[in-house]
Amino acid sequence: KSNGYCRALYDRLVEKGKNKKAALIAVCNKLLKLVFGVVKNKTFYHENFVVKIA
């Protein structure tokens, strides 16, 4: 509820017609990937992180 990115993802999926429970599971999977990435790279979570591609 408090993470703006997750809320926007959930709202976007529901708006496209995805079942609410399926949209919630998609957000959970996205959060799991994010957590594993943070743990794997031993970094802190930055809400406004931007990848710079050269």
> What pLDDT sits at residue 50?
62
Six token digits for residue 30: 């996205």
Give, rounded to a whole angstrom, the gap between the first and last alpha carbons of the chain. Answer: 34
> What pLDDT sits at residue 54?
64
pLDDT tens-digit profile of 7-49? 999 999 999 999 999 999 999 999 898 889 889 988 887 777 6
> What pLDDT sits at residue 53?
73
The structure's pTM equals 0.73
